Amino acid sequence: MFRKQVDESKAILKSMQTNHKAAVLQNLLTVIFRSDTDRDNVIGEAEAADLLRSIRNTTQGVTIHEDRFNDAVLGKPVGAVVELVENLLRDDVPKENKIFEIQKQ
């Protein structure tokens, strides 16, 4: 009986982590697409700062490595910035290259 409850708890936790990751991804994509305020398809310095602030304000439970983030977005087209999401999704990205890390709950 106890083993069954442990297994059910593990399944629930995994589902919650998956849902959290999906919510983080949705928030990231939303703020990235809204970040190009001058509509030139390039993320400028002010837009990058606003994007970082928006991510911090709307995405709970995520560590952002700001130096890596700035290197990845400044002067880049919005489409390339969307590739940041891949950095979050892939498990094979070395820790020193991660831009975002979802904190364990």
pLDDT, tens digit, for every residue of 19-63?
A: 877 887 888 888 888 888 999 989 999 999 999 999 888 877 788
User: What string of H, E and C letters represents the secondary structure of 19-76?
Assistant: HHHHHHHHHHHHHHHHCCCCCCCECCHHHHHHHHHHHHHHCCCEEECHHHHHHHHCCC
Looking at residue 35, its pLDDT comes to 87
Q: How confident is the model at residue 104 (pLDDT cuts 50, 70, 90)?
A: low
pTM listed for this prediction: 0.72
